[in-house]
């Protein structure tokens, strides 16, 4: 028999899992007590609780705990007063049972608190007299508040009021009345909203309407009608943002279930409860994490004690993020998401925490959505301290440069915009340079001051030409002391080179800055000829671009080094000067103001002076040909 049951269970799970994308019903351990209807349930953490109800013998007051991890039941302290059709909810580690009835004429408005850690019951404030006695009401919790609403009175009037109980003050206040009266309804909570649906508004008058109550606005809003036959004593529970309603009685007991999507306000069919059709299990349901649970009920003759788990194929998880590498002494914000409550290893209960570890540290957080918990962690690594430093020569001369090198990190940003660790700078005046050194998010800065000292401005006599055997004096100014290439250190030196020679002089001032200058002393060749006969001036040229005699070119056959001064002017026939030259290296292309002359005869005047003292003046005609 045991093997048969196991094989049937495996086959059943596979069939419904394949047909509904892993949506499953799984039978769990049955309640080790009498079957019952009209029981009350709630959950605390990973534990589910079922108590009271009607058995074949009448109202009872036993109370049971189911462990989700172990799939085992344990009896707990009995409620002081037996009853059925009570309302249940939980806040934190406390569970609550309210109202109900123990017979057709005995109704209650009392509220009892069960302490999970003490396993004891304590009576709390009764519902107000104005609320009256009631049974088959719906019970919920949102945050630290409990809610009881609708139901039937001892006179079997159907109710629409909603009451809020404050755990901290142990007081009741009435909230907005539901637009529709009902008893034996099904309901659940999602986020900050309560949801009421199905039930009865009178004997034999069954409902399938569906309403939302918002805790913040205290406003009721009608939602999409439940797509089942009008019925009462149906079951309701929520998983994430999905709500579920099923079983119940529409004149006959049922086992079908539908799913409501809070985001789209739409209903879809889901798999039926794979067991006996039933009703009056409407308050013996609860959710733990991403699973829904129902227990008991009856089919009009048989009281059930079987226990079923529903899964819609979803799982709960959360996330934690933040900067995981920080500098020693810095802080970072770690943020957990995906839940509605958070418990950090730092004892903080906010979604975000600011931490300032002194060494690499792992922070853990438990993320909860009210029914599910998810444990995760994040490690914050401490990066070694950044110590920025700048090295390099800090004193330069005007016009000089220096290389500055930063160390201590992997990234660099200089005050001049450079992003390399080394930069070459040549400031014109004393300047400060700073650099930001970073590795990851760690930063440090350093700076250095470059002092720019003035340099001497050395000037020496202009280039000069002398005859062989002669001497000349070279003068230096703008600095001092001086050092000449001859070894002299005076301001002026006398030289008589045998051949053309370059002389240089430099000066280093108090700051160590140097400047230098050079002078060329040209020494003439002994024979520079006679300018009367050695100066060649052509008497004709032809600027016709044939490559021959296209320009007028004057030359001195003994070399241009012999020429001290040279001047030549050319005039047209009206005496207008059309060309002028200061050296023999200049040429005339026959143009005047950009235009080429027609064939014509021009006169010229030319004067030449040699370093030897000889001079010559030449006059004559030059013919421009085509």
Decide if pLDDT at 8 tops 70: no
Q: Please give the model's pTM, rounded to 2 decimal places.
A: 0.57
Is the domain defined by 2-311 classed in CATH 3.40.1010.20? Answer: no
Give pLDDT, residue 315: 80
Average pLDDT, integer, range 283-295: 94
What percentage of the chain reaches a pLDDT higher than 70?
A: 96
| Span 400-458, pLDDT tens digits | 999 999 998 889 999 999 999 999 999 999 999 999 998 877 888 999 999 999 999 99
How many CB atoms are located within 10 Å of the residue 305 CB? 17
Average pLDDT of the chain is 91
Average pLDDT, integer, range 33-59: 95
The CA dihedral of 575, 576, 580, 586, to the nearest 10 degrees, is: -90
Decide if pLDDT at 21 tops 70: no
What whole-number distance in Å separates Cα of residue 77 and Cα of residue 184? 27
* Helix, strand or coil, per DSSP, at residue 42: strand
Give pLDDT, residue 371: 63
**CATH assignment of 319-383, given 3.40.50.10420, 3.90.1150.10, 2.60.40.10, 1.10.150.120?**
2.60.40.10
What percentage of the chain reaches a pLDDT higher than 90?
A: 79
Give pLDDT, residue 467: 80
| DSSP code, position 277 | -
Give pLDDT, residue 370: 65
Give pLDDT, residue 463: 94
Decide if pLDDT at 333 tops 90: yes
What whole-number distance in Å separates Cα of residue 69 and Cα of residue 66? 9
Helix (H) or strand (E) holding 5: helix 2-19
Per-domain boundaries in the chain: 2-311, 319-383, 389-453, 459-523, 531-624
Give per-residue burial for 311-336: e unless 16+ CB within 10 Å, then b.
bbebebebebebeebbbeebebebeb
| Span 263-281, pLDDT tens digits | 999 999 999 999 889 999 9
What whole-number distance in Å separates Cα of residue 36 and Cα of residue 239? 25
Same fold, 319-383 and 531-624: yes
Q: For residue 567, which of 583, 553, 551, 578 has the smallest C-alpha distance? A: 583
Decide if pLDDT at 12 tops 50: no
What's the Cα-to-Cα distance from 67 to each of 64, 121, 238, rounded to whole Å?
Answer: 10, 20, 19
Q: For residue 361, which of 376, 377, 348, 379 has the smallest C-alpha distance? A: 379
| Span 105-125, pLDDT tens digits | 899 999 999 999 999 999 999
What's the Cα-to-Cα distance from 359 to each of 330, 356, 480, rounded to whole Å?
Answer: 11, 9, 63
Helix (H) or strand (E) holding 531: helix 531-534
Decide if pLDDT at 368 tops 70: yes
**What's the gap between Cα 489 and its chain centre?**
70
* CB proximity list for 8: less than 8 A, separation 6 or greater: none
Answer with the residue of higher pLDDT: 17 or 84: 84
DSSP 173-200: EEEPPPSS-BBS-EEEEETTEEEEEEEE
What whole-number distance in Å separates Cα of residue 407 and Cα of residue 77? 71
What whole-number distance in Å separates Cα of residue 572 and Cα of residue 366? 108
Tell me which residue has tokens 């230098």.
516
| DSSP code, position 64 | E
Fold that domain 389-453 belongs to in CATH: Immunoglobulin-like (2.60.40)
Decide if pLDDT at 13 tops 60: no
Decide if pLDDT at 317 tops 90: no
Helix (H) or strand (E) holding 311: strand 307-311
Long-range pairs, 294-300, Cβ under 8 A, ≥24: 294/235, 294/237, 294/247, 295/31, 295/39, 295/41, 295/50, 296/31, 296/35, 296/36, 296/37, 296/39, 296/50, 296/53, 297/37, 297/233, 297/235, 297/247, 298/35, 298/37, 299/253, 300/253
| Span 595-604, pLDDT tens digits | 889 999 999 9
- In a 13 Å sphere around the CA of 590, the CA atoms on its Cβ side amount to 21
Decide if pLDDT at 19 tops 80: no
Tell me which residue has tokens 């055997």.
469
Answer with the residue of higher pLDDT: 102 or 384: 102
Q: Which CATH class is domain 531-624?
A: mainly beta
Decide if pLDDT at 64 tops 90: yes
Average pLDDT, integer, range 347-361: 94
Give pLDDT, residue 369: 74
Give pLDDT, residue 611: 80
Average pLDDT, integer, range 20-44: 92
Give pLDDT, residue 529: 86
Give pLDDT, residue 18: 40
Bridge partners of residue 459, in order along the sequence: 477
| Span 514-573, pLDDT tens digits | 999 999 999 876 678 899 999 999 999 999 999 899 999 999 988 887 889 999 999 999
Give pLDDT, residue 471: 92
Please check whether residue 507 is in contact with residue 482, taking contact to mean a CB–CB distance below 8 angstroms: yes
Answer with the residue of higher pLDDT: 559 or 283: 283
Average pLDDT, integer, range 190-198: 96
Q: How confident is the model at residue 394 (pLDDT cuts 50, 70, 90)?
A: very high
Please check whether residue 175 is in contact with residue 169, taking contact to mean a CB–CB distance below 8 angstroms: no
| Span 211-243, pLDDT tens digits | 999 999 999 999 999 999 999 999 999 998 899
Give pLDDT, residue 1: 30
106 by Cβ neighbours in 10 Å (0-12 / 13-18 / 19+) ranks as middle
């Amino acid at each position: 028999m045991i093997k048969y049951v196991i094989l049937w269970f495996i086959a059943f799970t596979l069939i419904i899992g394949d047909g509904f994308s892993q949506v499953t019903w799984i039978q769990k351990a049955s309640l080790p007590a009498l079957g019952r209807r009209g029981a009350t349930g709630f959950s605390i953490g990973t534990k589910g609780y079922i108590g009271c109800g009607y058995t074949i013998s009448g109202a009872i007051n036993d109370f049971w705990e189911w462990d989700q991890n172990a799939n085992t039941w344990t009896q707990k302290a009995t409620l002081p007063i037996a009853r059925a059709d009570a309302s249940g909810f939980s806040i934190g580690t406390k569970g609550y049972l309210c109202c109900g009835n123990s017979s057709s004429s005995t109704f209650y408005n009392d509220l009892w608190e069960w302490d999970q850690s003490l396993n004891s019951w304590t009576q709390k404030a009764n519902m107000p007299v104005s609320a009256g006695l009631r049974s088959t009401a719906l019970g919920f919790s949102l945050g630290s508040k409990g809610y009881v609403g609708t139901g039937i009175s001892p006179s079997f009037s159907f109710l629409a009021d909603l009451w809020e109980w404050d755990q901290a003050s142990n007081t009741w206040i009435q909230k907005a009345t539901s637009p529709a009266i009902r008893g034996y309804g099904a309901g659940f909570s999602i986020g900050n909203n309560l949801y009421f649906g199905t039930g009865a508004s009178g004997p034999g008058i069954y409902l399938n309407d569906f309403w939302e109550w918002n805790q913040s606005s205290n406003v009721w809003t009608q939602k999409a009608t439940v797509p089942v036959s009008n019925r009462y004593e149906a079951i309701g529970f929520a998983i994430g943002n999905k709500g579920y309603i099923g079983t119940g009685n529409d004149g006959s007991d049922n086992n079908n279930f539908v799913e409501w999507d809070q985001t789209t306000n739409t209903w879809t069919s889901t798999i039926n409860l794979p067991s006996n059709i039933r009703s009056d299990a409407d308050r013996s349901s609860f959710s733990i994490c991403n699973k829904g649970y129902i227990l008991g009920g009856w089919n009009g003759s048989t009281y059930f004690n079987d226990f079923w788990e529903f899964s819609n194929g979803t799982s709960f998880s959360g996330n934690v993020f933040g900067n995981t590498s920080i500098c020693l002494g810095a802080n970072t914000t770690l943020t957990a998401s995906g839940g509605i409550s958070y418990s950090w290893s730092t004892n903080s209960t906010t979604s975000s925490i600011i931490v300032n570890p002194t060494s690499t540290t792992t922070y853990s957080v438990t993320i909860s959505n009210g029914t599910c918990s998810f444990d995760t962690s994040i490690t914050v690594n401490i990066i070694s301290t950044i110590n920025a430093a700048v090295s390099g020569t800090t004193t330069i001369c005007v016009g000089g440069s220096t290389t500055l090198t930063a160390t201590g990190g992997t990234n660099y940003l200089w005050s001049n915009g450079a992003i390399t660790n080394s930069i070459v700078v040549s400031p014109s005046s004393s300047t400060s340079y700073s650099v930001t050194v970073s590795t990851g998010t760690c930063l440090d800065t350093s700076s250095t001051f470059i002092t720019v000292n003035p340099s001497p401005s050395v000037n020496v006599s202009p280039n000069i030409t002398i005859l062989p055997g002669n001497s000349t004096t070279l003068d230096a100014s703008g600095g001092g002391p001086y050092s000449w290439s001859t070894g002299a250190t005076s301001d002026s030196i006398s030289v008589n080179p045998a051949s053309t020679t370059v002389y240089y002089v430099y000066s280093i001032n108090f700051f160590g800055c140097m400047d230098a200058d050079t002078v060329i002393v040209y020494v003439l060749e002994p024979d520079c000829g006679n300018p009367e006969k050695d100066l060649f001036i052509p008497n004709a040229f032809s600027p016709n671009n044939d490559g021959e005699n296209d320009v007028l070119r004057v030359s001195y056959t003994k070399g241009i080094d012999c020429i001290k001064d040279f001047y030549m002017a050319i005039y047209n026939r009206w005496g207008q000067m059309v060309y002028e030259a200061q050296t023999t290296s200049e040429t005339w292309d026959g143009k005047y103001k950009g235009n080429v002359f027609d064939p014509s005869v021009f006169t010229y005047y030319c004067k030449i002076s040699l370093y030897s003292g000889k001079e010559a003046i030449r006059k004559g005609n030059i013919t421009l040909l085509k």
